[in-house]
Amino acid sequence: MTNNIRLKGEITVPGDKSISHRAVMFGSLAKGTTKITNFLQGADCLSTIACFKQMGIDITNDNGTIYVHGNGLYGLKAPKDTLYVGNSGTTIRLMSGILSAQNFTCTVDGDASIRKRPMKRIIEPLSMMNANISSIDDNFCAPLKITGNKLNAIDYTSKVASAQVKSSILLAGLYADGITSVTEPYISRNHSELMLTAFGANVWTTDTTAHIEPATELFATEVNVPGDISSAAYFIAAGLIVPGSELLIKNVGINPTRDGIIRVVKAMGGNISLLNERTVAGEAVADILVKHSNLHATTIEGEIIPTLIDEIPIIAILAAFADGTTTIKDAAELKVKESNRIDLMVNNLKAMGADIVATDDGMIINGGKELHGATIQTNLDHRIAMSFAIAGLNIDSEVKLDDYDCVNVSYPGFFETIESLL
């Protein structure tokens, strides 16, 4: 039973969130002016800009193109107030690595969600590097107090596959006294490694270990940000589940450390193809063509998880519409994202009539049940909100969100894009 809508057309999605953050941070530490095109003007990346402006970096926005006038590796100035990261885990974790090596003391804080997210994962390795970093409330969460120090290189093995942890340590490693290495259980997104190389740092990877040499200087460059595959994922899903749909999503980043959603959709029998594959500024990019498909269940586990970690909420929606039992394992990290995404996906899908159970590290979804509308509890999590908005396109009764504005964290214009396709 459906709304009698079908989605047809060609869209672009906003710039990649991970790449946008990094371009501002690395540009701030470089000598010269970094030009960033297709920068994501979402709340999270605007928080990164605000923090670096507070540290004396001149950052201008010319009709959507961002210019970062870097001050060099040692050019940041002590901020007068607390650095406020809003909802952004990437900002607080990556910036902490940089702040660990500056010659000033500062505090870093964020919203209620950030204050609940685990910071021990960066406090521990950065402290091993001789950083002076502590949780002000002594709970290993924000607010953090950081006093820069002379850092020593470490060879660190992380329990979690996390690009935020890896990048935080690599950024501190730029200032260390030797080669710093980070080993992960599975490889996480490698945008820092690719972009730091473009800025002139010496970074390399062996198996699941990233290594960095200390640098004396980074050099400004131009960053052309591809469309965010995590944002494209909502429209990939919409095209697949809404009968009669056919969507072309242009200029999407398909870096192999981020493309798990494409592999999963293929495994579920989805009609998806990559067109015009190319490389832009070191990142793989393609146009994605997706057509309505009858999906079937799959199992998602192991090393693919970090490559689709932010897409699991929308994958759970796909699984609810697919035939058979989909199992998602090895994804306990979902509990410490902007919300507990296991609980929220399970509770909200149950409220819509789905057959789904939470497990310790994922969920099991018996797909194909008839779903109905409900009011969705988002906990102000952008990805929960967008996932259920897409589910609502394929249901007769209304899916209401308890908050719509939270989508602006990563996807300003999300609802307008949906409207444009109807």
Binding site for ligand S3P (CB under 6 A): 18, 90, 162-164, 167, 188-189, 309-310, 333
Q: What share of the chain is helix, strand, coil (3-state, %, to 5)?
A: 35, 25, 40
CB of 162 to ligand S3P, least distance (A): 3
Query: Of the two residues 169 and 421, which places its CB atom closer to ligand S3P in the complex?
Result: 169
Reduce the DSSP state of residue 334 to 3 states and report it: helix
Q: Please say which residue, 285 or 421, places its beta carbon nearer to ligand S3P.
A: 285
Angle between helices 382-392 and 229-241 (to 10 degrees): 20
In the bound state with ligand S3P, the residue whose beta carbon lies nearer, of 189 and 292, is 189
The answer to whether 381 and 406 are in contact (CB under 8 A) is yes
What does 95-162 look like in DSSP terms, one character per residue? Answer: HHHHHTTSSSEEEEE--TTGGGS--HHHHHHHHHTT-EEEETTSSSSSSEEEE-------EEE-SS--
Shortest Cβ 303–ligand S3P spacing (Å) = 14
Q: In this complex, which beta carbon is closest to ligand S3P, that of residue 109 or of residue 310?
A: 310
Cα 49 from Cα 28, distance rounded (Å) = 9
Cα torsion 113, 116, 121, 127: sign: positive
Q: In sequence order, what are the beta bridge partners of 61?
A: 66
Task: State which residue, 264 or 421, has the beta carbon closest to ligand S3P.
Answer: 264
Smallest separation (angstroms) from ligand S3P to the CB of 18: 3
Instruction: Give the active site residues.
Output: 310
CB of 273 to ligand S3P, least distance (A): 26
Q: Are strands 218-219 and 30-37 parallel, antiparallel or unpaired?
A: parallel
Strands 155-157 and 132-135: unpaired
Tokens of 184: 């992960």
Q: How far is the CB of 306 from ligand S3P (least distance, A)?
A: 6
Which lies closer to ligand S3P via its Cβ, residue 287 or residue 381?
381
Measured distance CA(109)–CA(143) in Å, rounded: 4
Task: Name the DSSP letter for residue 286.
Answer: E
b/e burial code for range 374-392 (CB count within 10 A of at least 16 → b): bebbbbbbbbbbbbbbbbb
Shortest reach from residue 82's CB to ligand S3P, in Å: 22
**Antiparallel, parallel or unpaired: β 400-401 and 375-376:** parallel
Query: Min. distance of Cβ 29 from ligand S3P in angstroms?
Result: 17
Q: ∠ at Cα 409 (38, 328), nearest 5°?
A: 105
Closer to ligand S3P by CB, 69 or 329: give it.
329
Least Å distance, CB 196 to ligand S3P, is 13
Strand bridging mode 222-224 / 30-37: parallel
**At CB < 8 A and 24+ separation, what contacts does 197-205 make?**
197/282, 198/223, 198/281, 198/282, 199/26, 199/29, 199/30, 200/30, 201/174, 203/170
Per the listing, tokens 């999503």 go with: 249
Q: Which is nearer to ligand S3P, 98 or 295 (CB)?
A: 98
